[in-house]
Amino acid sequence: MNGLHLKTFLTSNLDVDEEEIDSLVANCRVMQVNKETFLLQKGEHCRHTFFVEKGLLRQYSIDERGKEHILSFAPENWFVTDRESAYFNQPSAYYIQALEDSHVVLIDDDFIQRLSQKIPKFTEFNNRLLHNHIRQQQHRINLLLSAVAEDRYLQFVAMYPDILLRVPQAMIASYLGITPESLSRVRKELARKNSKR
């Protein structure tokens, strides 16, 4: 399974022949990690971007009171990293943990450089991915600052439609910045509204 899904992801988005990236992807390290395994812990330096071929990861922090705050989930075909740590050589403030048994490709800066040199159109694609990530983060910050819990939940469902049944309700609440009790009320209210249609 060495990079098979990553290769498929790249060829489907870049419109290039598989042979062009075979040798590059073949050199990527693929980790099989068990559920609850940490790929990154607070205080460590993040050296990779993680591409999820199978499974589910989460990125989160823990505040001084011991409360978890989930920044993102990464299901299949998603990337996750701590950009501040990886690109500015800072100790990480985050944890990246497997929520399921997972297959993860470790992507380092050398791989990005080689891919950019061999396939120039990758640079434009990578920039688009980065700008889309920034756009999503801005939208999420705005939701956390101004939206009611129901709107936050509906946005979560739109962004992560396939993981609602894969993570505990408490983790969804953490991502939304609300209590599990509030999330339960939101879901009941949405179910009530839908039953009236």
Instruction: Give the separation between CA 91 and CA 150, rounded to whole angstroms.
Output: 35
Instruction: Tell me the two tokens of residue 25.
Output: 């992807």
Count other Cβ atoms within 10 Å, centred on residue 96. 25
Instruction: Give the separation between CA 6 and CA 137, rounded to whole angstroms.
Output: 23
Give Cα 10 to chain centroid, integer Å: 17
Count other Cβ atoms within 10 Å, centred on residue 194. 8
Is-contact 65 133, C-beta < 8 A?
Answer: no
User: Reduced to 3 states, what is the DSSP secondary structure of residue 94?
Assistant: coil
Per-residue pLDDT of the chain (197 residues; tens, 9 = 90+): 455 789 888 888 887 877 878 878 888 899 999 999 999 999 999 999 999 999 999 999 999 999 999 999 999 999 999 999 998 999 999 999 999 999 999 999 889 898 889 888 899 999 999 999 999 999 999 999 999 999 999 999 999 988 999 999 999 999 999 999 999 999 999 988 887 76
CATH of segment(s) 4-121: 2.60.120.10
The predicted model scores a pTM of: 0.91
